[in-house]
Structure 1
Amino acid sequence: MAEAVAGKPGHLEPSASDIRLVIAASSAGTVFEWYDFFIYGTLAGLIGRAFFPADNETLQLLLVWAGFAVGFGFRPLGAILFGYLGDKLGRKYTFLVTVTLMGIATAGVGLIPSAATIGIAAPLIVIVLRILQGLALGGEYGGAAIYVAEHAPTDRRGYYTGYIQASVVGGFVLSVMVVLACRFLIPADAFAEWGWRLPFLLSLALLAVSLYMRLKLNESPVFKAMREAGEIAGNPFVESFTYPGNKKRIFVALFGVTGGLTTIWYTAFFSSLSFLKGPMRVDETAAEIVVGLAGLISMVFFVIFGKLSDRVGRKKPIIWGDFLTLLLLFPVFWGLGHFANPGLSQAADRAPVVISGWDCSYDPFASEQATNCGKLLADLTAMGIPYDLDEAGRTPDLQMAIGERRYALDGEDALAWADNAARMADLRSRLEAAGYNFSKQVPPLGSLLMIGALLLLLGALSGLTYGSVAALLTEMFPPKIRYSSMSIPYHIGAGYLGGFLPLIASYIIAKTGNAYSGLWYTWVVVAVALVVGMWGLKGGPPREFEDDA
């Protein structure tokens, strides 16, 4: 006998073929939409040169990540807007609108002339399109997750929605695969000049496929039942904050669930890729291949842990994942650094860089540093060289020690302070003389396998905290305001706590000169999530929404 769906009598569980279509269409659309969003981050270096040119390489990267963060910053507004429409008009038509908006905005990035051609208009248009992407994504996830969850029986909801969670990783993997294919087919110079635009334009084809699949879907059975019973919310946004007990649920969903899972996710996939390509100087193609393959395999974890939550409950995997992340985060990245570029850590141990002098202030957001010491720190940061500031023994004159060799940079060993390129070249030659290697690294096969294993461990931690979340958030909130109530905390957490991670982590690294220091941001957010989750999440087996505080 068919089983009632989502607690609504009279609405039976869809057939196996129906649920396969629901999962495939929802997951495919989510893959394509996240592809559109992540292609920006995957091509961050080229986007910086095209739209955010700056003499300060660190500033250029920070501007790119600021543009990345802008999209995330508008996700909560998208959650409010499309959550309202999803609770008023239906799940299906709302996420048709979101995927269309995302596809058009992404293709637009590929058509913008560079800053060299149209000046400041170029970055401004990029920011506008990133805002549109953020609005679209704010409505996409909640719609797709709820749509699948409301077709699923309680005892299989974690498994079914695990595919939606995996499709988020799928969007990232697809972005990496498309970039790799373009790099393979297009000469390097041509790719840097114009070929990087093709992945953005490809979003139009992906949009067509997604719309074709989603137009074949029917409305969610839960929403149809509410509409027939006249139970549609009057104002879903207002009722999300006035419904009894919902304020606590939103707080727990934001700080106990979403904050942790998004920072773990972005650290596992985005930070690891930036870490390998940036400070570890791994060849871009090699880094993208190993991270892309690890991400592809990691998609299995999201389905496995989603299914596990159907047996052990939604709370346990999330708490386990947060706790293990706190234990393993730094050791995993230390391992990545060791296998990616062992020579760098050896050089830093053998010939550490120590700077001493007055007024060694460094502003990563300044296009030109005010002091010579600031210029030196900016150069070291851009080259990914760790350094220490000798505050206790600082001297009136600017000095730099590289191992046993000490340079008087205000005297006979002065760098070309007025010429950025000459100064960087001179500094690099002194570091190379001390054993630092600035060539791109392609780690041997054994090291690549170890890097892949560590990335899979990060993927498993992300799967633990993310795999069951669509089911959990669906069950936390009442059906008539579910789209709004789960989308708002999810996208505030993902938009601000997670989306600003690359910018904040890069800033911390730039200020400290330590390639691992940005991980402290992830660690603190996950620690808060662990405490709030242990306090606020309900244990026990999965259950339908219960109307209690």
Structure 2
Amino acid sequence: MQATIAQANRGQEQTLTRKEERQVVLASTLGTLFEWYDFFIYGSLAVFMSQVLFPQDNPTVALLAALGALAVGFIIRPLGAVMFGYLGDKWGRKYTFLITVVMMGGATVLIGCLPTYESVGHLSWILLLTLRVIQGLAVGGEYGGAVIYVAEHCEPKRRGLLTGWIQITSSAGLILSLVVILATQASMSAEDFRQWGWRLPFILSIVMLAISIYVRAKLHESPVFTRMKKENRLSKNPVKETFGQWSSLRLVLIALIGVTAGQGATYFTGQFYVMIFLQQAVQLEQKTVYQLVVLGFIIGAPTFVLFAWLSDKIGRKWIMMTGLFVAALGYHAMFGALLKAGNPELAQVMQTTPVRIHADTGDGACDFGLQAALVSAHPDHKKMCVQAKKLLVSKGINFEYAEPLAGQNIAMTVGNTTVNGFDAKAYSTALSEAGYPQRADPARIDRMSIVLILVLMTAVVAMVYGPVAAYLVELFPARIRYTALSFPYHIGAGIFGGIVPFTATYLAQASGNIFGGLMYPVVVTAVVGVIGSILLPNTRAKAIDEEYVR
């Protein structure tokens, strides 16, 4: 790709023609789209992979372990941010593109080739964890390079708009992964997909890997970086300068606790955990969930560019803060509406015929600890109260604790029926007789309402995520921008956001409340919204070559 930079006089921003802008944005977004596809394909297939790559003596623990491997990939991202941030600030933005896309694509293809737990035992999930670490490192270096590359090419008044196209690639990658999965499922039987078909979306990504390498190899270096290198203004040690100087570290911390932590929580709640909720709590079939999510996200995706463009006009801060507060105040209502629209029979019967667990909770008999969630041999798994709680939550059923019955360690009451002890079959029969459905009735699913709610959730995410790229670029000086921008972004997205699927699933299991998982994103978005409203400056379009802003 040939990008011509019209740089007439020193002190002027370079300008690109609209054609050249499109070339820069397309080259950056294609690679980023591919990397998000790679990352999300794992999460979308976590249920299937938990059945193949992990021990099956406890399916709930296998699912949590698979989601834990997803979280590990996110947690490692800040390390990738520092590593590739250093390279990007020292060697240039372009080279990191090639390195990260090769790492990400190679790891993705190899995940599709992993041996099963049945054939190699624990080596299967150890190899998976290794590849997830590689993916996490790659994504840690990808995002900062992409948004900086676009931002350092475009004129200030269009920075939000053009970096907004980078922001949309996260949802686009998720949509693409779901489309590929649905197409693969349609081409074979359900049993074949469960056994081996889930591997194809990973292996087929080798085609996109080749295209991404070709496109990125044709890129030229960022004009801002080229100018700094020519004038000997590069940082000698961007990591030390970022974290060793209070003026820089202060900006990193403000970015983290003032926006990126909340941005990560909103994104992975409204774009990822919602799929788990629809399958496990609402009891929709996976294929139905994927179809609805694809439609809702496609309709909602343009809001990423809309709010990014709007931030060029009115500033970025208050758009992002509004999104955080809407998320904190609205998540319970939105997820409750999803339950009513997706499984109205379940929502109604939980109101009219509540379930009660009679147990003495004072001695920890009903506690479901984190260690128990991760270790299938843990004694907690044998507690009758824990087993009862897990059974009910797996069916999307909330319950209340009540006083223990005489002579019984545990009992369940639903309607006029009481089942003493714990017997999964007897519990299921009693629940069915009381009107609790086994699955959501396809004929009663309000698909239109679910799609509209998903569009709303996407718009809430976009209010925070759309403007944040341009905001972070403008917040940090050019000489340490790659390192300083990437670290708080990936702490926010990788840790605060990446652990949402695991944390929310665990909290729902531990609390015995299908909405219990929302406690985490609600608290994070509320706290970050308050801090950001107080501490964040309201940036607008400005020159971003540090020579012109100091």
Query: What TM-score does the superposition give when structure 2 sets the normalisation length?
Result: 0.93
> Residues of 2 paired with 1:289 and 1:384: CA distance?
21
Offset at 1:366? 4.4
CA contact under 8 A between 1:82 and 1:138: conserved in structure 2? Answer: yes
> Residues of 1 paired with 2:443 and 2:140: CA distance?
39
Partner of 2:442: 442
> Residues of 1 paired with 2:214 and 2:299: CA distance?
27
The code of the aligned residue for 2:56 comes to A
Partner of 2:138: 136
> Residues of 1 paired with 2:51 and 2:386: CA distance?
23
The code of the aligned residue for 1:361 comes to D
Alignment of 1:260-271 (within 5 A): 260-271=262-273
Q: Say if 1:378 and 1:333 are closer, same or farther in 2 by CA, change over 3 A.
A: closer
Alignment of 1:201-212 (within 5 A): 201-212=203-214
Correspondence for 1:371 among 383, 402, 409 = 383
Offset at 1:187? 1.5
> Residues of 1 paired with 2:246 and 2:374: CA distance?
45
Tell me, what secondary structure is at the counterpart of 2:51? helix
Partner of 2:334: 332
Partner of 1:216: 218
Partner of 1:380: 392
> Residues of 1 paired with 2:407 and 2:91: CA distance?
69
CA contact under 8 A between 2:283 and 2:395: conserved in structure 1? Answer: no
CA contact under 8 A between 1:65 and 1:503: conserved in structure 2? Answer: yes
Identical columns (%): 39
> Residues of 2 paired with 1:128 and 1:52: CA distance?
15
> Residues of 2 paired with 1:26 and 1:536: CA distance?
31
Partner of 2:497: 498
> Residues of 2 paired with 1:137 and 1:322: CA distance?
24
> Residues of 2 paired with 1:250 and 1:361: CA distance?
38
CA contact under 8 A between 2:13 and 2:543: conserved in structure 1? Answer: no
Partner of 1:50: 52
Q: Say if 1:286 and 1:314 are closer, same or farther in 2 by CA, change over 3 A.
A: same
Offset at 1:255? 1.3
The code of the aligned residue for 2:442 comes to V
Tell me, what secondary structure is at the counterpart of 1:399? strand
- Cα root mean square deviation, aligned: 2.0
Correspondence for 2:367 among 335, 339, 361 = 361
Q: Say if 1:361 and 1:326 are closer, same or farther in 2 by CA, change over 3 A.
A: closer
The code of the aligned residue for 2:437 comes to N
Number of aligned residue pairs: 533
CA contact under 8 A between 1:54 and 1:367: conserved in structure 2? Answer: no
Give unmatched runs, 5+ long, in structure 1.
416-423
Partner of 1:408: 420
Offset at 1:289? 0.8
The code of the aligned residue for 1:402 comes to V
Tell me, what secondary structure is at the counterpart of 1:245? helix
> Residues of 1 paired with 2:87 and 2:10: CA distance?
22
The code of the aligned residue for 2:131 comes to L
> Residues of 2 paired with 1:540 and 1:468: CA distance?
10
Offset at 1:540? 5.7
Does 2:484 align with 1:482? Answer: no
Q: Say if 1:540 and 1:503 are closer, same or farther in 2 by CA, change over 3 A.
A: closer
CA contact under 8 A between 1:3 and 1:153: conserved in structure 2? Answer: no
> Residues of 1 paired with 2:294 and 2:65: CA distance?
25
The code of the aligned residue for 1:21 comes to Q
Deviation string, structure 1 residues 76-134 (Cα, Å, up to 9, x no partner)? 01001000000000001111110110000011110001101110000000000000000
Tell me, what secondary structure is at the counterpart of 1:9? coil
Deviation string, structure 1 residues 274-321 (Cα, Å, up to 9, x no partner)? 111111111211110111111122220010110000000111210111
The code of the aligned residue for 1:383 comes to K
Tell me, what secondary structure is at the counterpart of 2:382? coil
Query: What TM-score does the superposition give when structure 1 sets the normalisation length?
Result: 0.93
Partner of 2:540: 541
Offset at 1:427? 2.5
Partner of 2:299: 297
CA contact under 8 A between 1:340 and 1:443: conserved in structure 2? Answer: no
Extract structure 1 runs of 4+ deviating beyond 6 A: 2-5, 546-549
Tell me, what secondary structure is at the counterpart of 1:273? helix
The code of the aligned residue for 1:339 comes to A
Partner of 1:421: none
> Residues of 2 paired with 1:11 and 1:267: CA distance?
38
Does 2:451 align with 1:452? Answer: yes
Tell me, what secondary structure is at the counterpart of 2:266? helix
Offset at 1:382? 2.8
Offset at 1:16? 1.7
CA contact under 8 A between 1:11 and 1:221: conserved in structure 2? Answer: no
Partner of 1:418: none
Q: Say if 1:396 and 1:507 are closer, same or farther in 2 by CA, change over 3 A.
A: farther
Correspondence for 2:309 among 301, 307, 310 = 307
168-177 or 532-541: bigger deviation = 532-541
> Residues of 1 paired with 2:339 and 2:391: CA distance?
21
Q: Say if 1:351 and 1:57 are closer, same or farther in 2 by CA, change over 3 A.
A: farther
Tell me, what secondary structure is at the counterpart of 1:219? coil
> Residues of 1 paired with 2:428 and 2:543: CA distance?
61
Q: Say if 1:313 and 1:356 are closer, same or farther in 2 by CA, change over 3 A.
A: same
Partner of 1:528: 527
CA contact under 8 A between 1:364 and 1:507: conserved in structure 2? Answer: yes
Deviation string, structure 1 residues 490-541 (Cα, Å, up to 9, x no partner)? 1111111000111111111001111111111101110121112112211263
Q: Say if 1:15 and 1:356 are closer, same or farther in 2 by CA, change over 3 A.
A: same
Tell me, what secondary structure is at the counterpart of 1:538? coil
> Residues of 2 paired with 1:516 and 1:171: CA distance?
27
Tell me, what secondary structure is at the counterpart of 1:385? coil
Alignment of 1:456-471 (within 5 A): 456-471=455-470
Deviation string, structure 1 residues 188-245 (Cα, Å, up to 9, x no partner)? 1111111100000112111111111111211000000010000111111111123452
> Residues of 2 paired with 1:145 and 1:541: CA distance?
16
Tell me, what secondary structure is at the counterpart of 2:367? coil
Tell me, what secondary structure is at the counterpart of 1:407? strand
CA contact under 8 A between 2:474 and 2:539: conserved in structure 1? Answer: no
CA contact under 8 A between 1:283 and 1:441: conserved in structure 2? Answer: no
Correspondence for 1:323 among 310, 313, 325 = 325
CA contact under 8 A between 2:390 and 2:512: conserved in structure 1? Answer: no
Partner of 2:154: 152
> Residues of 1 paired with 2:243 and 2:359: CA distance?
54
Offset at 1:4? 7.8
Q: Say if 1:496 and 1:408 are closer, same or farther in 2 by CA, change over 3 A.
A: same
Partner of 1:123: 125
Offset at 1:426? 3.4
Deviation string, structure 1 residues 471-500 (Cα, Å, up to 9, x no partner)? 110000010100000001111111110001
Partner of 1:399: 411
CA contact under 8 A between 1:4 and 1:153: conserved in structure 2? Answer: no
